[in-house]
Amino acid sequence: MHAEIEVASKRIAHYVRTTPVMYLEPDAWGIQAHIVLKLEQLQHTGSFKPRGAFNRILTNEVPEAGVIAASGGNHGIAVAYAAQHLGYRSEIFVPEVCSPVKVERLRSYGAQVSLVGATYADQIPFNKTSNNPSRTRSLVWHRSSSQVTSTPTGVTSLDCLALRLFLLPHSSDHAKSL
């Protein structure tokens, strides 16, 4: 798995940001530990999700119809962003309860937005029956259905390893030097 993560890291490097880290002071939030935050909210679209979206698109042949996803959240936004950035069409299916702000954000990335079902739970049958590549002629995936999508999450861990974040000594002297 480590090798797959390294390959994914190289594949998506030109499309995503290396996000910074923030070292908190000892005893932050009353926790007796060194706390280091990886600031993925500074990534394109505000989450780590573009890592998986770019990796999925870059590792697949994308049909002329483009990409399709069902998500009213960060996954859909990342898919729309990556598709637009790479020059593909995207269609994102969201539940009717999806925030109008998110719908507009999806559209700002060029996505065709389709409202499906009254709630997020209503998307479960949609994901199982309507996301049919032979019907849509699109590259289709659910946010948690693919190792190709989830492997780049490990890229964040590689960033942390490169910064030696997992090897911090547990002493207040080290925290003071940060």
Handedness of CA 87, 62, 80, 47 (dihedral sign): negative
The residue count for the chain: 178
Segment 82-97 shows an average pLDDT of 94
Q: Could you give the 3-state DSSP secondary structure of residue 144?
A: coil
- Name the amino acid, one letter, at 83: A
Q: Which two tokens stand for residue 21?
A: 């880290």
Strand order in the sheet with 139-141: 112-115, 90-94, 67-70, 139-141
| pLDDT-based confidence at residue 87 (cuts at 50, 70, 90) | very high
| Residue 12 · residue 32 · CB < 8 Å | no
Work out the mean pLDDT of the chain and round it to a whole number.
79
| pLDDT-based confidence at residue 142 (cuts at 50, 70, 90) | low
Q: Which two tokens stand for residue 85?
A: 């950035």
Question: In whole angstroms, what separates CA 155 from the centre of its chain?
Answer: 11
What is the per-residue pLDDT for 164?
56
What is the per-residue pLDDT for 147?
53
Q: Which two tokens stand for residue 173?
A: 């002297």
Alpha-carbon distance of 101 to 109, in angstroms, equals 13
What is the per-residue pLDDT for 4?
85
What is the per-residue pLDDT for 6?
87
Q: Kindly list the structural domains of the chain, giving each domain's residue range(s) and its CATH number in brackets, ordered by start.
A: 2-167 (3.40.50.1100)
